[in-house]
Chain A
Amino acid sequence: MDAIRLTNLSKKYGTVLAVENLSLAVPAGSMFGFLGPNGSGKSTTIGCMTGLLDPTAGRIELLCAPFDAGNAAIKRRIGVMPENLGLFEPLYAHEFLAFVARMFGLDEATTRTRVTELLAALELTDTSKTLSEYSTGMRKRVAFGAAVIHSPEVLFLDEPFESIDPAGVALMKQWLRRLTDQGRTVFITSHVLETVERICTEVAIVTRPGKLVWQGDITTFPIRYDGQEFHALEQLFLHLTGERYADLKWL
């Protein structure tokens, strides 16, 4: 069963094509890496899949049901950590998490329990600071907490590991593995290829403009493609997206 299925998804911003005829299937219970260079349409694709953006063309199915921006029932079953985190800066961490939990339909008692536990687990116990006063890493932890507080069946994480300290990353990975062990699906975009290689079971690589160039299992290396053997995800990624070299004499 596929938790996510995209069929010929396209997204245009005015005349600029951000995603072109993207078709993708993500099996339920998998840890799926969605990779691509900057500007290749990864965040736009996540935006379309989570109701933030309207696709120009194509079809999105989440949890075996058609999905669009107005589908609150499906939204209730997914969790999202957006690229810019989407935090309400003037709030305290517990206020933000409680607000998100209540909006996702958790009752007051469950909300309090989960918020308290999350704050402790994510080491966000400094209640004297609002979110605007938190460091980038702490803000990321709060956004991660908000994405998982309602135990979603599908979790979308846009660049989750950047700016987080190793201990935080280890904790997140542990939680993500637990989610997939329970049959839940995790969809990750990241530029930290070593981490993706370690935790993801399957990967899709896109190039500009949001065009799928490779999808496959990465649990076993080497991977054979284009008549070559690749022993690491980074090699495959660079081969597909193109290595760049620029010599600046003054640098």
Chain B
Amino acid sequence: MNGPLILELTGLRYKLLWAKTRSRNGRIALFLTGYLLLLLLIVLMAFGGIGAAIAAVRAGKALMIAQGVLMSLFVQAVISTNILGFGMSTVFSEFELRRYPLTATDRRLARHLTGILDPFWFLFLSLELGLALGLYGLEAAGFWSGVCAVLLLFICNYLCARVVGAFVDQLMKRKGGPAVLLGLVMAMGVAPGPLAQIFKKHADWGVQLLQRLAFTPPFAAASAMVSTDGTAARGFALLLLWIAAFLAALIWMEKRPPARQAAVSTKVSWETPFDRAGAFFGPHLGPFVGHWLRFYARNARTRTMGLLSIPLAAFLTYSTSRTLGPDGVFIAAIGTISMATFLGTSRIAVNQFGYSGGAFRRYFLLPAAPADTLRAASYAALTLGAASIPLTLLLWTVFAPVAFDPRRILMLFASALTGLFLFNAAGLWVTLYNPRKGNYDSNFGNDLSLGGNVVLIGSMFCALLVPRALHRWYPAAVTPEAWLLFLPLPFLAALLYRISLRAAGPLFSARREKLLAVVEGRD
């Protein structure tokens, strides 16, 4: 094994991160990210891990609470890395590493070592370490057993997230893969409800399930952390087994030849749905919008997120509705429905030119005003987002456990449109002022700028929290009787979008050299 070179590459990963601070935007992003991470770390460490440990020991249920906390963190890490892309960036690709004198094993190790050393994973590690140290401080666990269990679980968690990512990636490249993925996610989104009912009916099944869960990595880590007898040794052994299994699965998946998209074009087709949809925007903007629709639709990440957005919105609606009273599903849906309109296109909508690479300069060579480029790109995102609204409303009408009421449909429609316009208005400004060079072909990894992440994650938080806040302080505003209140919202949002679009056009032209430098990786 070429250890020194692998360490050099790991060092290079941080040098590259540091190199970003050479620009003004980079420095701002670094400091803000640094402070944000530090704050999160402190909050997580203080209130999360140690707090959970104290609660666990006081309740005399150290093992049970450790199991619950670790399982929750494990699942959240897998979901958030795969949905938001944090901690999944490939700093060095296999192709890039081939230029160095490294064996296949060295290259794999270098790739995953630089992957696991992502600040995002440190957040989870800090919380888990907080739990272990808290339990140690309260004499409910040993120091070394706690730390070792957490480190093994951390590796296991990273490998599991990578396996899930590789599985989704390969599935998306196969014929029918998107449909299978949609089915899987739909099943995951719908399953909690019926499962909860089943476990309520058969309480003994819950006990049996807990026994089975003892074989999972988080439960094994909890045993290794808290137990002192042979159970701890079994926990460590189980963790090692899981690591070996995930590693084997990952190596197997990475070694598989990349599947070509089954639909190979062999005939030149002139009339495509993109061009037909673009034609609605007139002869001047039509080809441009058609081009942007094609650009969005060919992006694997956009397609994956587009497929996931409705099931994810459904899942979040259900999971956040329980504390919102009898009409909780509807109240939660008022916010979450907007997610279905922007999640799919979000990556490109907040960084419209970041994935164009060298083609960005082509826009300025065309006989069209630069503002038209910006407008066409934004219209394409709006079109795709708006297209999901009828489907979402149809699914709501069919599946929501709420009596049909046209006022509710109208309110949801208004909320969806409002979210769509507001998100895309914000996306325009981030596109202009905080762009980032991204990789169009990467299906995973969070390559958004700080501004992009703030808008995306902020929009998701708003979608989850605004209806909750209204329910708390103005409960009448989220009842069907308040439907009239919702009617002006999309118009106001559309106005804001229109103002943003008009203001952004000249700015786009003025900032094109700056954008060119960022998009082509020179800034």
Binding site for B on A (CB under 8 A): 47, 50-54, 69-70, 72-73, 75-76, 80, 82, 84-92, 94-95, 98-100, 102-105, 108, 112, 116, 119, 127-128, 132
Contacts and interface: CB of A to CB of B under 8 A. Distances in A.
Nearest to B270: A112
Given A89-B357, A90-B299, A103-B288, A50 B509 contact: no
Contacts of A87: 358-359, 362
A132 B266 contact: no
Given A54-B513, A94-B268, A84 B358 contact: yes
Interface in B358-397: 358-362, 364-370
B513 A53 contact: yes
B264 interface: yes
B365 A82 contact: yes
B266 A128 contact: yes
Contact of B264 (A47, A80, A100, A128): A128
Contacts of B169: none
B146 interface: no
Nearest to A72: B367
A80 B366 CA distance: 9
B268 A116 contact: yes
A125 B358 CA distance: 24
Given A53-B513, A88-B356, A89-B357, A69 B440 contact: no
Interface of B: 264-268, 270, 287-288, 290-291, 294-295, 298-299, 356-362, 364-370, 440-441, 509, 512-513, 516, 520
A81 B365 CA distance: 9
23 contacts: A51-B365, A52-B365, A52-B512, A52-B516, A54-B513, A69-B370, A75-B365, A75-B367, A82-B361, A82-B365, A86-B360, A87-B358, A88-B359, A89-B440, A90-B298, A99-B287, A100-B362, A102-B287, A105-B367, A108-B270, A127-B267, A128-B264, A128-B265
Given A53-B513, A127-B265, 16 more contacts: A51-B365, A69-B370, A70-B370, A76-B367, A82-B358, A82-B362, A86-B359, A87-B362, A89-B357, A90-B295, A90-B299, A103-B367, A103-B368, A108-B270, A127-B267, A132-B441
Contacts of A52: 361, 364-365, 512, 516
B294 A95 contact: yes
A196 B466 CA distance: 66
Contacts of B295: 88, 90
A69 B361 contact: no
